Structure formats: C-alpha cells, structure tokens
Amino acid sequence: MSNSKIPLESNDCLVVLCFQHLQMQMRYRDTNVGNEPLVPELPEVETVRRGLEPHMEGTIIDRVELRRKDLRFPFDNDFAKKLDGQRIISIGRRAKYLLVDIDNGLVLVMHLGMSGSFRVEQAGLVDQPGEFALPKGVNKKHDHVIFHITSAAGAKTRIVYNDPRRFGFMALIERSKIESHPWFVDMGIEPVGNALNGDYLAGKFHHKKAPLKAALLDQKMIAGLGNIYVCEALWRAGLSPERSSYTLARKSGKATAKANRLAGHIRDVINEAIAAGGSSLKDHRQTDGSLGYFQHNFAVYGREGEPCRKSGCTGKIKRLVQSGRSTFYCSKCQR
C-alpha cells in the first residue's frame, strides 16, 4: 500500500473537517455545574462515530503514524503493523467506546477519555456541506495518532487523533473476544433501544436500596448512561434522584408505572441528544464546527436556582452532590 502523505505545506489547499465534540483540554463548567470536568457522554461519542463513519468505512489503512508510545496506556505490540494495509469494515459503538472493525479479524477499540478528539483532513475535497476550518485552540503538538487512509475511489485522507491530556486510549482486540473482554463483559444494555423498558428496570432494581440516580449510573445496569442525561430523564419522569431504586418495582417484582415512564424518558432524552449532535457543552461541536443545540433544551442540568420548566410547577431547580457528581432536580415536582 502507498505510504504517500497529504502535503501540509499550505493549509489553503486543505479542507479540514474538525470533530470538536470532545476537545475539552481540562476546561471546567461554570459554577452552576459544580466545577466538574467536561467529559463526553454517549450522545457525544455517537456523534463522533457518525462523523467518522463516511470518511473511514470501506477505506484501506495505508499506515498508522504513532507519535508517542502511549496514551493512557501503552500501545499494543506491533499496533501499527497490525493495521497497516487493512480495510476498515465498519465503525460501531458500545457505550462510550468506538469500535472499528478491521478485515483481519481485529477490532480497534478507542476511548476518547476527557480531552480526545478527531480531525479529518482531506486534500482537494469539494462539495462538502457547511464551512470547515481548523478552529482556534487545536494544538497540533497533541496530535498523537494519525491514520493515513485511502478510499475506494483513491482519495487520500488523514484521521488525526488529538488528546492534550492523554486520558484516551486505543487497543486491538480479536473480534471473537470482544464480548468476553474485561471492558465489555459486565456491561449493561444500551439506553437507546426497546430492551430498556420498565420490566428491565424493575428486574434490576427490585432489591436495590441505592438512590435512583446512582443506580442508573451503574454501567453494569445501563451502558453509557451519564450524569447529564440521567438528570434530564429523572426530571421528565417526575422522579427524585434520591428515591430508593427498589420503588420502581412492585413487591412481585413487576414494573410500576414509574418504571415504565422512566424507561421511556431515558430512551427519548438520549435519542434526542444524538439527533441534536450531543449536548455540545463548551467545545463540543458539530462536524461543521457549529455548536449543537441540545444544551439549550436542558430542563434542569446546570440551572440551579432557576424556575422549573414543567407546566404548572412553581418550584426552582436545586443542586446536590451524589457520589461526587452534581445532580440537578426540582424538589417540588420530582418525588
């Protein structure tokens, strides 16, 4: 396979497609959000997957350029050699992991950590929607991994992984061993399909005394469900984050109306966020560099002291800390 590079002497000849959903660089949310570090949630990761898919799926990896020996963890032995010359079959996602299926039977597993992002660089690209430009704040000294790929039509592309804090990681796992791998073996169901229903929640929470929010964040129960969207779903369902988890089940173990209602709202809030391109907090951006819009729809998250948006409710949004994470809720309409 060719090892030719895209010339970079002049950025004027390039159209740079920037995936800035996860360019956090250890910045912090404002005090309304408890000064917590920005971390990607499932909709952000799914948005990155959808952005990478048309540029990577079906292409040949000419070579992989590693600019350091590790990210959060050291790269596998012969990491680059195992990918060189291989074809990318598909790009999937499990929870907050990106899964790149390779035709040699391996899966490239990628996690973006806190500050990871991808940038797609193509020479001579035309007729692309939106205005694409390299945004300020992308420091190329943090470009740690570059995938040089070629499409079936012969177009050369560079997929650049940038990670200032290096909390992300990449590993190669045999496709047949993915489900039994320690990262995935105990992982719960995805929060976007019909498998997440009232009966599932009731069955998992029947004997749990933990606060409802803490139980929902347990990745062994529901994979990829994060802090922001749990707060939003609980508000929509009218359920207190401090409610005991077992109250979602009847004594018989069957689902209550509350469990059915909550399951539906979890699916809805995640799917709406994916459709909107993620929560787009701070540096999270759409593939065309513009900010997404789902953050403007937050009913409780980051709105401490503001009026509750539920029709007829006169309460105000409160904040409490549970397991080190900020929880936002309305104590008047969430019971």
The residues that are catalytic are 40-41, 96, 325
**Residues 60, 44, 39: CA angle, nearest 5 degrees:** 115
DSSP bridge partners of 14: 123
| 19: Cα within 13 Å, side-chain hemisphere | 29
